Amino acid sequence: MIGRIAASVTATALVIVGLSALAVALSSKGFGLTVSGAIALYFVIWWTLLFAVLPFGARSQVEAGEVALGSEPGAPSAPRLREKAVWTTLLAGAVLVATALLLPLAGL
C-alpha cells in the first residue's frame, strides 16, 4: 500500500498533507492544544522521526553491487525517500496524538 502511494508524487503529497492535517486536527480539537501549538509540535516530531526513519532498509551502493562512477560508494543505491516520508508522517501523527493525549499541553 505504501509503495503504491509512493509511486506518485501527487499521491504522496496528498497523503502526507491529509494525514498531517488529521493529526493536527485531532490533537488540537480533541486534546486542547491550540492549532499553532499542534502544528509546531508536529513539525518538530516529524523532522525528528524523519532522521530516525531514513536508515531503515537503506543499502549502500557497495552492498547493492552497483557503484556509480563519481559517487560515494557508501551512498544509498535506492533511498526510497517518498516511502520514508509517508512512514514518517504515519509515525509522527501517532506520536503527536499520543503526546497530546498523555501530556497536559493545553497551554501550548
Position 33 scores a pLDDT of 79
Cell numbers representing residue 82 in the block: 517518498
Matching residue, cell 503526546: 99
Position 8 scores a pLDDT of 86
Position 100 scores a pLDDT of 83
Position 32 scores a pLDDT of 72
Q: Is there a domain that residue 81 lies in?
A: yes
pTM, two decimals, is: 0.81
Q: Is there a domain that residue 22 lies in?
A: yes
Residue 19 burial class via C-beta count within 10 angstroms: exposed 0-12, middle 13-18, buried 19 and up: middle
Domain count, the chain: 1
Q: Is there a domain that residue 70 lies in?
A: no
The answer to whether 46 and 92 have CB atoms below 8 angstroms apart is: yes
Position 107 scores a pLDDT of 56
Position 67 scores a pLDDT of 84
Q: Residue 36 sits in which domain range?
A: 2-63+76-102
Ranges of the chain with pLDDT below 70 = 104-108
Residue 94 burial class via C-beta count within 10 angstroms: exposed 0-12, middle 13-18, buried 19 and up: middle
